[in-house]
Each structure stands twice: as C-alpha cells, then as structure tokens.
C-alpha cells in the first residue's frame, strides 16, 4: 500500500486529483464491458502532463499501459497493474488549410464529422469506427475500402523516454490493421489528416450510406469489440465462422453474434475469461474444419484473476 500511496502522490503532483482514479473498474472504459481494475487510471489534460507521467513510469519502473476508447481491447478479469493512461481529455479537432488536425483522445468519428462540417473529403470511411484517433493510428483502422494510411500526413508522438517527435506517416509503417506503434512504444498525441475539398452533401450521402450498412449488419445493441479476427488472406472470417455452425455458440455470457458471425457479443454479463475462451474455441473449430488460422484483430491485455 505504501508504494501505491507514493505513486498517488507523485501522480497528483503532475495532474489534478480529479484526473487520477484508484482501483478503477476497466469495464467502465471498454466497449466489451469486461475487465478487472486498474491500479491507477490517469487522464492527463496537457501534453506536458503526458510527458511527465511517461517519465515517472520509467523512473519508478512501474508498468504503463495506454487505453484509447477501449473498442479494440479485452482487459482480462485480473485487471492491469501500474498506471493506465487514457488521453480522452485531449480531444480538440481543428482545420488548417485542407487538413484536419485531431488530438489523439478525440473520437475518429468526431474527426470524420468535423471534416464533413468543413466540406473536406477523405475521412468518410471512419464515420462509424468507435475508436480514438490514437487507437485508429495504432491499428491503421479502416472500413469500406478506406483506411488511416490513405489520409494520414503526419503525427506528433511521445517516446517511452518522454521525447516529443513529429513523424511523417510513412514512419509508422502502416499496413492492414497494423503499425509499428506497439514496437516503437510511441504514444500518439496528435494526427494531421490531409484531405481534399469536397461537397458537403455528397460527403454526407456517403457517410449516411456507410452508417446504414453498419447498423443493418452489426450487432450494435450488445457490447462487443467489433470484428474479433483479421480477414484471413483469401477468406472472410465471418463466413468461415458461419460455415462452422458457430453462430449463437455461447460460453457463459459471451456469444458468437447471430447477426454478424465475425462479432462476439457480451450478451449476458460475461467475464473476460468466458469471452477469451469463446475466441479460442472459434479459432480451433475453424482451424479444424477449414485449416485456416484466424488471427485476432482485438488485443487482449491485463492479468488473469487470482484463483
């Protein structure tokens, strides 16, 4: 407890008390509504505070985890030790020339809406992706033929040493649902999207169409992490799962969605353990039936519960 008091004091020297939560349930901060507690959940309000927290974690050799909007993560039932940092209070979005600049805690949906408001074309694909700007860069998020790689010009990041860098998009090595952000340990602070002048009505029509497609196909009425698996080369994950007769398969409160086989929903107060068990069951069944490895798109983090 002594060390935790010490950390609390150090964190509240950096940012105000309201930005430091102790023993916070992470199910309140993830789309799946799963997961144990974080020792500390910190929500800094300035880049200087982010920098100071990163440096503190390094000095004190305390574990440090970044949480975006929690829409592509499963936090295990044992929670996360050390500091979990969420940048949701850094959420400004503005226009400069034909660019949209967004802080990493802004929702990518809001960046897409801002581009519409400014009649700028290029971010329509992101209008229904429920992640933060930082999480979208990390994953090179994409939908309906568009992806972050197509529009990202540059990004401002902090390294795990606390150094501030301005990087061109090419330095992030963006590919299908990956980047080098995990390997480099970058903390994204800001993204500049290079867009083209367009017609607001046409941009809105595209966004409305994508929203209709999403709402009619995805089980948005239940908590989930979106598509659990990446698209395996030459196949569709959802179709393989459907053809394995897995739709509706349930372990505890977790269920393979009956609406979209690529989703696993938290139907009835599932635990993370049940959810993860169901993911593994789907992977092994599809492998057995079709010889295809389903690679997870969703990240699993945190610790197993103590028995």
Ligand X SMILES: Cc1cc2nc3c(=O)[nH]c(=O)nc-3n(C[C@H](O)[C@H](O)[C@H](O)COP(=O)(O)OP(=O)(O)OC[C@H]3O[C@@H](n4cnc5c(N)ncnc54)[C@H](O)[C@@H]3O)c2cc1C
List active site positions. Answer: 177, 227, 297
Interactions with ligand X, residue window 233-262 (CB under 6 A): none
Min CB(291)–ligand X separation in Å: 26
Tokens of 74: 């499963």
Rule CB under 6 A: choose which of 27, 31, 121, 302 binds ligand X. 31
Residues 185-214 that bind ligand X (CB under 6 A): 186-188
Site string for ligand X, 43-82 (x = CB under 6 A): -----------------------xxxxxxxx---------
- Taking the least distance from each CB to ligand X, the nearer of 229 and 291 is 229
Does 130 participate in binding ligand X (rule CB under 6 A)? yes
In the list 22, 143, 164, 167, the residue contacting ligand X (rule: CB under 6 A) is 143
Give the burial string for 212-242 (b: 16+ CB within 10 Å, else e). eeeeeebbbebbbbbbbbebeeeeebbebbe
For position 136 contacting ligand X by CB under 6 A, the verdict is: yes
Measured over the CA atoms of residue 97, residue 99, residue 105 and residue 107, the dihedral's sign is positive
Of 44 and 70, the one with the shorter C-beta distance to ligand X is 70
Sign of the C-alpha dihedral computed for residues 104, 106, 108 and 110 taken in this order = negative
The least CB distance from residue 183 to ligand X, in Å, is 12
Smallest separation (angstroms) from ligand X to the CB of 167: 12
87 binds ligand X, rule: CB under 6 A? yes
Angle formed at CA 207 by CA 210 and CA 212, multiple of 5 degrees: 35
User: Would you say 151 or 187 has its CB closer to ligand X?
Assistant: 187
Let me know how long the chain is.
307
Q: Least Å distance between CB 249 and ligand X? A: 19
* Binding-site ranges for ligand X (CB under 6 A): 31, 66-73, 87, 104, 129-132, 134-136, 138-139, 141-143, 181, 186-188, 218, 220, 224-226, 299
């Amino acid at each position: 407890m002594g060390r935790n008091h010490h950390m609390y004091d150090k964190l509240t020297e950096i940012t105000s008390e309201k930005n430091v939560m102790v023993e916070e349930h992470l199910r309140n901060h993830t789309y799946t509504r799963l997961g144990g507690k974080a020792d500390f959940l910190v929500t800094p309000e300035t880049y200087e505070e982010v920098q100071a927290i990163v440096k503190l974690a390094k000095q004190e050799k305390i574990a440090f985890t970044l949480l975006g909007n929690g829409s592509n993560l499963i936090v295990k039932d044992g929670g996360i030790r050390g500091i979990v940092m969420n940048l949701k209070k850094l959420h400004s979005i503005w226009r400069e020339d034909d660019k949209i600049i967004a802080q990493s805690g802004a929702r990518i949906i809001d960046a897409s809406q801002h581009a519409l408001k400014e009649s700028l074309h290029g971010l329509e694909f992101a209008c229904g992706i429920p992640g933060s700007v930082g999480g979208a860069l990390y994953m090179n998020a994409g939908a309906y033929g568009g992806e972050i790689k197509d529009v990202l010009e540059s990004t401002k990041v902090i390294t795990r040493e606390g150094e501030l860098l301005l990087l061109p998009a090419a330095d992030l090595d963006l590919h299908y649902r990956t980047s080098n952000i995990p390997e480099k340990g970058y903390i994204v602070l800001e993204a500049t999207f290079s867009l083209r002048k367009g017609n607001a009505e046409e941009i809105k029509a595209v966004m409305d169409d994508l929203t209709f497609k999403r709402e009619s196909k995805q089980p948005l009425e239940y908590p989930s992490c979106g598509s659990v698996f990446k698209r395996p080369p030459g196949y569709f994950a959802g179709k393989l799962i459907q053809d394995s007769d897995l739709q509706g398969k349930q372990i505890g409160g977790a269920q393979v969605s009956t609406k979209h086989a690529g989703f696993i929903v938290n139907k009835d107060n599932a635990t993370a353990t049940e959810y993860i068990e169901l993911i593994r069951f789907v992977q092994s069944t599809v492998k057995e039936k079709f010889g295809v490895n389903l690679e997870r798109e969703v990240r699993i983090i945190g610790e197993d519960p103590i028995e």
